[in-house]
Amino acid sequence: MTTSVQALIEDALDDLKAQDVTVLDVQGLSDVMDTLIIATGTSNRHVKSLAGNVIEETKKSGFPPLGVEGLNQGEWALVDFGDIVVHVMLQATRDFYELEKLWSLEPPSRRTEDE
């Protein structure tokens, strides 16, 4: 199921010209999700439209999100599908929070002794 939902999400983002779509496999870093998808919108309206299209397309296919946050503001929208979490952000917001960098760091408690 996760693969088909991920494909739906990526297609929905691509349909409305999301920029810099990044898919991160966070299975080894998170107990609450497997995949993190981050995309950039060019304006508040674009961020809202991108997140809205993800919601609409996945609902049509029988995979409604578990939760949605930030859709009204349009600076950063989060769409939660359980195993997959989608972040659609303005470029300035994405630059500030650097989620890719945050999720690429492995906490010391999870490193093996060989590292």
Question: Can you give the CATH number for the domain in which 50 is found?
Answer: 3.30.460.10
- Total domains in the fold of the chain: 1
Domain presence at residue 112: no
Domain presence at residue 111: no
Domain presence at residue 70: yes
Domain presence at residue 110: no
Amino acid identity, residue 15?
A: D
Question: Please, which residues have CB within 8 angstroms of residue 1's CB and are 6 or more apart in sequence?
Answer: 63
Domain presence at residue 109: no
Question: Please, which residues have CB within 8 angstroms of residue 41's CB and are 6 or more apart in sequence?
Answer: 18, 19, 47, 48, 49, 50, 74, 88, 89, 90
Three-state secondary-structure class, residue 115: coil
- Whole-number pLDDT of residue 2: 63
Domain presence at residue 114: no
| Percent helix, strand and coil across the chain, each to the nearest 5 | 40, 25, 35
CA-CA distances (angstroms) from residue 40 to 1, 17, 78, 89? Answer: 25, 9, 12, 5
Domain presence at residue 106: no
Domain presence at residue 25: yes
Burial of 23 (0-12, 13-18, 19+ CB in 10 A): middle
pLDDT digit of tens for each residue in the chain (115 aa)?
Answer: 567 999 999 999 999 999 999 999 888 777 788 899 999 999 999 999 999 999 999 999 999 999 999 999 889 999 999 999 999 999 999 999 988 887 775 555 555 555 4
Provide the 10 A C-beta neighbour count for residue 99.
17
Domain of 69, in residue numbers: 2-101
pTM for the full model? 0.86
- Whole-number pLDDT of residue 105: 56
- Whole-number pLDDT of residue 35: 92
